[in-house]
Structure 1
Amino acid sequence: MHFTNMVEDSFAYAKGAVVGEWMRWVLLVVSTIIFPLIMGYVVRIYSGKEPAPELEDWGSLFIDGIKLFIIGLIYSIPVILVFLLFMGGSIALFSTGSNAAAAAGLGSMLLGIVLMIVVSIVISLIAAIGMIRFARKDSLGEAFNVSAILAHIGKIGWGSYIAALIVLWLIGIVFAVIVSILGIIPVIGWLIALFLYPAFIIFQARYMVTIYESAPAPA
């Protein structure tokens, strides 16, 4: 897996989607504000469309975005359950007023945070491929076909897959820093940031597609 090529390909894809396509860029900004629309656009990217697709068939775009949102929400349920279980127990212990119970509550809270992080990471590894499977197969069920998802990740290679996601995570940090700096600039700063968001979302989506397609095709 050549990470430099993947980043360059994703950047070129995002650039082609917005640079020189000013009306599309403005519509993408609007879609980012009405978030199901940009999520629906991500579904179209996940489906493998090249070059970046036009913004059309808005009803279908909105529905696909809602479906992608629901998939993400369902995948977040285990994390929410861990949070409720440990945080609820911690609050109950704190409320007793006992120092020993408070210490136990603090321990429970820290354990809950660690478990939430672990569960979140595991779930995100599966969900990322599941969402692309949903777009490729046009089936909500395929988003939760865990055996097929794990098999696909196995073809990519777990080490390569995780390393590729770390690269994306680092790029995301750089983007967040840039946006934070722009936020300091009155008026024009947040406007520039607003226009950068859809470009970065497209970059992320395309990058995930390159990861997905890095799995060897069946013989």
Structure 2
Amino acid sequence: MTIDLGWVVKYPMNSDDWIRTILIGGGLTLLSILIVPAFLVYGYVLRVLRAGMDGAEEPPVFDDWGTLLKEGVIAFVVVLIYQLIPLIVMAVTVGGSIAAMASGTEAGAGVGIVGLFGGLALSTLLALIFGYVTLIGLANYAHEGTFGSAFDFDVIRSVAVDGDYAIPWLYGVGILIGAVVVASILGVVPIVGAIAGVFVTFYGQVAAGWVWGKGFGDATGLGGTDTEPDPAIA
């Protein structure tokens, strides 16, 4: 399998309305503290996953807001369930470490510091592992349209060990990390740079979401053939 990384990175721009889409997505991300905008972003990411499965050349648009919101809420719940274990591990290890450091003893401080860094490392590793599986669950929900399909462990197990998904997943993570790095650099500029970084990060999410969806589609035999002129994955 080969991946045309350049094509994937430019994917969010493969539409006449791409600037409008990025502006809406970035704006909703900025307003995510209000909760509902965050659900709308989750719903849009599901559409991007579907676009990847279908091999669609153009990114989806923001429309049919009711469906977008409903699916976004379900996607959020799916992510929360998958991330419960990493969150619990973080709460227990970090919380226990802080309590040990607050004991006021040298031994407690030493144990607390070791536990704090160990807990953060373990919870981060678990979040990454469960994140890998979470995307499969989200993609299957995007395909099947039922909440239970997000936890179809037969599908999750078969896709998780399939290189057709694993390789695009790595590329997607790389794209997202690249977007975050660019956003961090822009963040050096007070306010304006930080805001611009949010839009860059959303752009990266769209590109990563497409390649993740394509990987899921290929691993399950759902891959579309709409990318004839410029296939990103061959």
TM-score, normalising length from structure 1?
0.80
Q: Could you say which residue in structure 1 is the equivalent of 2:2?
A: 2
Per-residue deviation, 1:143: 1.4
Matched, 1:75 2:86: no
Letter in 1 for 2:143: R
Distance in 1, Cα, partners of 2:184 & 2:103: 42
Aligned mate of 2:49, from 46, 49, 54: 46
Q: Could you say which residue in structure 2 is the equivalent of 1:32?
A: 29
Q: Could you say which residue in structure 2 is the equivalent of 1:206?
A: 210
After the TM superposition, which residues 89-100 of structure 1 pair with which residues of structure 2 at under 5 Å, given as runs? Answer: 89-100=96-107
Matched, 1:143 2:150: yes
Q: Could you say which residue in structure 1 is the equivalent of 2:122?
A: 115
Which moves more between the two structures, 95-104 or 114-123? 95-104
Q: Could you say which residue in structure 2 is the equivalent of 1:171?
A: 175
Cα distance change on mapping 1:73 and 1:216 into 2, 3 Å: closer
Q: CA-atom RMSD, angstroms?
A: 2.8
Distance in 2, Cα, partners of 1:213 & 1:189: 36
Which moves more between the two structures, 73-82 or 186-195? 186-195
After the TM superposition, which residues 151-162 of structure 1 pair with which residues of structure 2 at under 5 Å, given as runs? Answer: 151-156=158-163, 161=166
Distance in 2, Cα, partners of 1:78 & 1:84: 10
Structure 1 gap segments, 5+ residues each: none
Distance in 2, Cα, partners of 1:121 & 1:43: 19
Letter in 1 for 2:162: K
Distance in 1, Cα, partners of 2:40 & 2:124: 29
Cα distance change on mapping 1:168 and 1:44 into 2, 3 Å: closer
Overall identity of the aligned pairs, in %: 23
Which moves more between the two structures, 208-217 or 70-79? 208-217
Q: Could you say which residue in structure 2 is the equivalent of 1:13?
A: 11
The answer to whether the 8 Å contact 1:156/1:214 transfers is no
TM-score, normalising length from structure 2?
0.76
The answer to whether the 8 Å contact 1:156/1:212 transfers is no
Letter in 1 for 2:41: I
